[in-house]
């Protein structure tokens, strides 16, 4: 395996036909020889944490935060958060992952640490994600803390695309600024 993609963002190209990933930004949570998993960062559901909590935990929860649709694969609730004390792994600097029920209960009952709850995830078999990237289905960039906790889900895809465009064009633009016309002596 060449590059480990954990912590990278996958940005769906505009032409990506899969409705599960139309204009999405996916954070890769784990990537290795067994495949890859990630969560969609910009797809809120129509449910709050409190509404899904009843079916998931015996403890009361009054959290009004929206649950995110993490992807088309059903699975446990996943939290991305800022609390090192209950981290199961680190995805990005200052961004931790947990799926443990006790840790999730702690997260939703506190206000000190930022968190987002995801229902479902995106999954790829070994080599599948690399193949999709190579075929041009996804653009790839570095994930950042701000991407995970961006409050405007609808604007995240556009914002990341614009950032990538600036990164691609800036080196070319800078070279043109240093252009000296030899006939101007």
Q: What is the pLDDT along the chain (185 residues), one digit of tens a residue?
A: 456 899 999 999 888 778 899 999 999 999 999 999 999 999 999 999 989 988 878 778 888 899 999 999 999 999 999 999 999 999 999 999 999 999 999 999 898 999 999 999 999 999 999 999 999 889 999 999 999 997 777 789 888 888 877 555 444 344 444 444 444 44
In a domain, 182, yes or no: no
Specify the number of domains making up the chain. 1
**DSSP assignments along the chain, one per residue:** -----TTEEEEE-TT---GGGTT-EEEEEEEETTEEEEEESS-EEEEEHHHHHHHH-SS-----PEEEE--SEEEEEEEEES-GGG-SEEEETTEEEE--HHHHHHHHT-SSS-EEEEEEEEEE-TTHHHHHHHTTSEEEEE--HHHHT-S-HHHHHHHHHHHHHHHHHHHHHHHHHT---GGG-
pLDDT of residue 161: 85
In a domain, 184, yes or no: no
CATH code for position 111: 3.40.1740.10
In a domain, 183, yes or no: no
pTM of the model: 0.86
């Amino acid at each position: 395996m060449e590059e480990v993609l954990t912590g990278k963002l996958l940005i769906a190209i505009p032409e990506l036909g899969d409705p599960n990933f139309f204009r999405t930004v996916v954070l890769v949570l784990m990537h290795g020889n067994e495949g890859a998993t990630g969560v969609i960062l910009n797809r809120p559901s129509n449910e709050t944490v409190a509404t899904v909590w009843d079916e998931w935990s015996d403890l009361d929860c009054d959290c009004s935060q929206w649950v995110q649709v993490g992807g088309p694969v059903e699975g446990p609730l996943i939290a991305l958060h800022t609390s090192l004390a209950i981290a199961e792994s680190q995805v990005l600097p200052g961004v931790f992952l947990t799926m443990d029920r006790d840790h999730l209960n702690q997260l939703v009952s506190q206000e000190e640490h930022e968190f987002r709850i995801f229902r479902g995830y995106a999954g790829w078999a070994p080599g599948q994600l690399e193949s999709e990237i190579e075929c041009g289905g996804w653009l790839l960039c570095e994930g950042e803390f701000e991407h995970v906790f961006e409050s405007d889900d609808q604007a995240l895809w556009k914002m990341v695309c614009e950032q990538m465009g600036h990164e691609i064009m800036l080196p070319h633009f800078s070279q043109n600024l240093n252009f000296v016309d030899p006939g101007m002596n």
